[in-house]
Amino acid sequence: MSTQVAQIAEVADTAKRRQIIEGARQIFMRDGFDGASMNDITRAAGVSKGTVYAYFPSKEALFEALIREDRRIQAERICRFSADDENVEKVLREIARNIVAAVTQPGHIAHLRTVIAAAAKFPSIGHAFYEAGPMYGAGRLAAYLDRQVSAGRLRIDDTQRAAFQYIDMCLARPLKQMLFCVIETPDPAEVEKAIDSAIAMFMAAYGPDS
């Protein structure tokens, strides 16, 4: 097979996989994990069931692939900050705003509920969500914090733990309120107050003079 033919085949393969994932996203969002059927997914994707199984051996594998794809895209958007920016508070605020904006989207909340419902029966689904989402985001923030510790701008013994602490402080209340249908969308003013408070507590605990 020539290089050009191989490249065309690879593009076609990627497009077909994308087509299946997009069809699966529609059905999982509409029916949840347990309610989704492979028949409905194949119809939504516009492919045969054999084609779906050629790419994904089970509904669980397909859902896990969807989770990893969505969380990777979301994490890349959240982590768009300059790793060389010396203004720690500015970066912390930027990260917090990105995280809250992404995680409190109605589509994300619906997806999160679906993952929670499926994870008890299929732990690999929960692992995929955690690794591609929270772990990835905290890891990127921890890497930034490591650089600031080396530069003497922060004093942190465990940057991974500090990253999770910061994210949780910013996110805990609006996420729980939306998960339990207390609110439909977070109040921007309350979000900013929560971020201000989180930054103040973080710097009080980990700032160079702490």
First vs last C-alpha separation in the chain: 63
pLDDT digit of tens for each residue in the chain (210 aa)? Answer: 555 434 434 545 678 899 999 999 999 988 989 999 999 999 999 999 999 999 999 999 999 999 888 887 777 777 777 767 889 999 999 999 998 998 898 888 988 998 999 999 999 999 999 988 889 889 989 999 999 999 999 999 999 999 999 999 998 899 999 999 999 999 999 999 999 999 999 999 999 875
- The span from the CA of 80 to the CA of 95, in Å, is 8
Residue ranges covered by each domain of the chain: 1-57, 64-206
Measured CA to CA, the distance from residue 158 to residue 155 in angstroms comes to 9
For the domain made up of 1-57, give the CATH fold.
Arc Repressor Mutant, subunit A (1.10.10)
Class of domain 64-206: mainly alpha
pLDDT, residue 7, reads 42
Q: What pTM value is reported for the model?
A: 0.79
Measured CA to CA, the distance from residue 54 to residue 179 in angstroms comes to 35
- Computed from CA positions of residues 23, 25, 30, 36, in that sequence, does the dihedral angle turn out positive or negative? positive
d(CA 126, CA 124): 5
Residues above pLDDT 90, as percent of the chain: 66
Any idea what DSSP says for residue 200?
H
Identical topology for domains 1-57 and 64-206: no
Integer-rounded Cα radius of gyration of the chain: 20
Question: CA 104 to CA 78: how far, in whole Å?
Answer: 13
Task: Give dist(CA 97, CA 76) in Å, integer.
Answer: 14
pLDDT at 3 (0 to 100): 53
